[in-house]
């Protein structure tokens, strides 16, 4: 998980979300009435996150994505936040049908209405990434050295989002881990080439998209 800095919506989208709230629309009704604006909102969030899933860091284009409410809109205590921009992120997959195996479900659809305000680590928390570490096998675990409460938060978030239970995610993290390790070994005696390779991994492409699993690669590179 990497930090998502929430800035400000374009004025037209901000006005639309406020109007939808004033009208008392449900999320489904919002989608029906404001199709163009919802599509623009998707595009805005995708760019804001540099093309990566808020929870898993997969490319949003690989399994498509949905507009995710961090605090679930289906829970009565968070219903008023259904049009709150800071509560919205882009999360893969778009739906379970985008995945070959149901048990590989992860992210917002895995979370569903399960949400513990005290324990869940949001990607909008500035230091969200410090709670997790990755292994060569593609596993994600609580980072060593955490306090008891911090470890509990990490465990809850990993389980809630299926970040460890999804074999798809583990395999993809393992592949990235092995590929970067191989490149690091290859460039070991070429520091300039090594630095260039790492910098290119952390730089957005011409469309503003980052390569997947930024946190994994930063850990390997010691960044």
Please write the tens of the pLDDT for every residue from 192-214.
878 888 888 999 999 999 999 99
- Domain membership flag for residue 71: yes
Q: Which domain holds residue 178?
A: 49-221
pLDDT at 187 exceeding the cut of 80: no
Preceding omega of 93 cis (within 30 degrees of 0): yes
Q: Is this structure's pTM higher than 0.85?
A: yes
**Structural tokens at position 150:** 């911090």
Which residue from 40, 9, 34, 10 is spatially nearest to 20, judged by alpha carbons? 34
d(Cα 65, Cα 49) in Å, to the nearest integer? Answer: 12
Phi-psi region of 32 (alpha: psi -120 to 50; beta: other; left: phi over 0): alpha
Which residue from 45, 47, 49, 41 is spatially nearest to 20, judged by alpha carbons? 41
Q: Rg of the chain over CA atoms, in angstroms?
A: 18
Residues 6+ apart with CB under 8 A from 45: 67, 88, 89, 90
- Domain membership flag for residue 84: yes
Distance of CA 64 to the CA centre of its chain: 12
> Mind listing the pLDDT tens digit for each residue in 105-146?
999 999 999 999 999 999 999 999 999 999 999 999 999 999
pLDDT at 92: 96
Which residue from 42, 164, 171 is spatially nearest to 107, judged by alpha carbons? 164
- Domain membership flag for residue 22: no
Q: What is the mean pLDDT of the chain?
A: 94
- Domain membership flag for residue 162: yes
- Domain membership flag for residue 207: yes
d(Cα 42, Cα 65) in Å, to the nearest integer? Answer: 9
- Domain membership flag for residue 85: yes
Residues 6+ apart with CB under 8 A from 124: 3, 4, 6, 70, 86, 89
> Mind listing the pLDDT tens digit for each residue in 53-96?
999 999 999 999 999 999 999 999 999 999 999 999 999 999 88
- Domain membership flag for residue 130: yes
- The total of structural domains in the chain comes to 1
**Structural tokens at position 180:** 């970067």
- Domain membership flag for residue 66: yes
d(Cα 223, Cα 221) in Å, to the nearest integer? Answer: 5
């Amino acid at each position: 998980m990497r930090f998502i800095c929430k800035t400000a919506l374009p004025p037209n989208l901000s006005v639309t979300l406020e109007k939808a709230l004033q009208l008392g629309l449900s999320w489904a009704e919002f989608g029906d009435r404001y199709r163009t604006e919802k599509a623009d909102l998707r595009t805005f969030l995708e760019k804001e996150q540099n093309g990566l899933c808020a929870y898993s860091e997969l490319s949003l284009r690989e399994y498509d994505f949905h507009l995710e409410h961090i605090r679930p809109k289906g829970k009565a205590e968070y219903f008023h936040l259904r049009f709150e921009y800071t509560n919205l992120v882009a999360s893969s997959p778009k739906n379970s049908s985008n995945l070959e195996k149901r048990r590989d479900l992860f992210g917002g659809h895995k979370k569903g209405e399960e949400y513990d305000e005290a324990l869940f680590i949001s990607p909008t928390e500035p230091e969200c990434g410090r709670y997790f570490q990755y292994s060569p096998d593609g596993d994600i675990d609580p980072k060593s050295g955490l306090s008891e409460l911090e470890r509990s938060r990490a465990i809850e978030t990993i389980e809630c989002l299926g970040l460890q239970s999804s074999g798809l995610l583990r395999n993809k993290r393992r592949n990235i881990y092995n590929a970067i390790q191989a490149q690091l070994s290859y460039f070991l005696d070429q520091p300039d080439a090594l630095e260039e390779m790492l910098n290119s991994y952390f730089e957005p492409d011409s469309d503003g998209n980052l390569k997947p699993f930024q946190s994994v690669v930063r850990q390997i590179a010691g960044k």
